[in-house]
Chain A
Amino acid sequence: DQQVKQNSPSLSVQEGRISILNCDYTNSMFDYFLWYKKYPAEGPTFLISISSIKDKNEDGRFTVFLNKSAKHLSLHIVPSQPGDSAVYFCAAKDQGGKLIFGQGTELSVKP
């Protein structure tokens, strides 16, 4: 029973365009969400987060949007760069403070 779902295993985008990565969750008690980025042969690294009291958080080229009623969040990368090519994991913090991860979406940004 996957509580955090990333239904797109992969996404291909042209350099300079927008990348939109989506994530859905089932537990309405989740109140903090994070995105992690992972390059091959490396551990995941924190990218951006959002609290459920907000609907948007922006950090440079990265923006995360949260729609609580739909239990949906998305990560926008504008403009996309080849160095953004990686696997992106969405995660939610449960009430015990532990991370529940989605399956990941592999982003490929083509020059």
Chain B
Amino acid sequence: IAGITQAPTSQILAAGRRMTLRCTQDMRHNAMYWYRQDLGLGLRLIHYSNTAGTTGKGEVPDGYSVSRANTDDFPLTLASAVPSQTSVYFCASSSTGASRDEQFFGPGTRLTVL
């Protein structure tokens, strides 16, 4: 089934540990995004990539890094997790980064940092 997969589905992590959230899409979309969803704040963009080999910072990039080595994969890394990074993380993709492109979302990763 075409779409976006994320792994893990959920994770409990000790503060200070390193964690990588995985995201893979099979739609050959050029643009990919990482969001976090927090109650009362909606979804906020962490990082994005308009095409393989390029990345950019979103609204809340601090404490996170991304890479885009190929079209399909867009991992998000927390180098040293902190409790404020407890959230639900969504990966998304779109055909291009153009204004009218619909973004397709993965099922999310629920992360708890203790």
Contact = CB atoms under 8 A, between A and B. Distances in A.
A, B: real partners: yes
B107 A9 contact: no
A25 interface: no
A32 B99 contact: yes
A97 B42 contact: no
B61 interface: no
A44 B43 contact: yes
A101 B42 contact: yes
Contact of B99 (A4, A31, A43): A31
A96 B97 contact: yes
Contact of A9 (B35, B40, B45, B97): B40
A85 interface: no
A9 B40 CA distance: 8
B100 to A, nearest CB: 7
A98 B105 contact: no
Nearest to A95: B99
A6 to B, nearest CB: 8
Interface string B23-67: 000000001010100001111110010000000001000000000
B107 A46 contact: no
Using C-beta atoms within 8 Å of the partner chain, give the interface range for chain A: 20 to 34
Nearest to B10: A41
Contact of B106 (A32, A43, A99, A104): A43
Given A93-B99, A97-B97, A43 B90 contact: yes
A63 interface: no
Interface string A21-46: 00000000001101010000111111
B111 to A, nearest CB: 14
15 contacts: A4-B42, A36-B105, A43-B4, A43-B90, A44-B90, A49-B100, A49-B102, A97-B97, A97-B101, A98-B58, A99-B33, A99-B43, A101-B42, A103-B41, A104-B42
Interface of A: 4, 6, 9, 31-32, 34, 36, 41-46, 49, 89, 93, 96-99, 101-104
